[in-house]
Amino acid sequence: MTRSVSEPDREGGERRLPPERWEIIRSQARERAHELRAQMLREFSGWLVRRFGETLQRFQVWWQRRKAIRELQGLDNRMLHDLGIARSEIEYLVAGGDPERRVPRTVMAKRAPCAAHDAARGRDVTIERRAA
């Protein structure tokens, strides 16, 4: 089925396009659609490659952090203390936390066991009061 398209002529009236002209217009439209589709695919593939690269970089950073955390968690408490790190601070510091903003650790002095604790264990508890 051949369709004809109207276009205005010089006098403002309409005239029908011949089938050959119609085929030329259709082929030009197909070529333009093909060009636009190819351009869209190029842009999309470029975006996809960039996005994949960003995701890969994030994964590598995450993997390196997890590796560092595993290695530090593998150290004993004495080695961590020599490094100035508490076990509870490892993930914070590996994630990029500022060592200067850490809450300072307080060293707790050894103290005598609690009398209530001894009483709960069935030990004889005598409470002595010191004169002030």
Q: 3-class secondary structure for 93-110?
A: HHCCCCHHHCCCCCCCCC
Q: What is the extent of the structural domain holding 40?
A: 16-120
pLDDT of amino acid 84 = 87
In a domain, 62, yes or no: yes
Mean pLDDT of 113-126: 63
Helix, strand, coil percentages for the chain (3-state, nearest 5)? 60, 5, 35
- Is 2 or 12 the better-scoring residue by pLDDT? 12
In a domain, 88, yes or no: yes
d(CA 128, CA 130): 6
Please give the tally of structural domains in the chain: 1
Confidence of residue 16 (pLDDT cuts 50, 70, 90): confident
In a domain, 50, yes or no: yes
In a domain, 95, yes or no: yes
Name the pTM for this structure: 0.47
In a domain, 106, yes or no: yes
In a domain, 101, yes or no: yes
In a domain, 5, yes or no: no
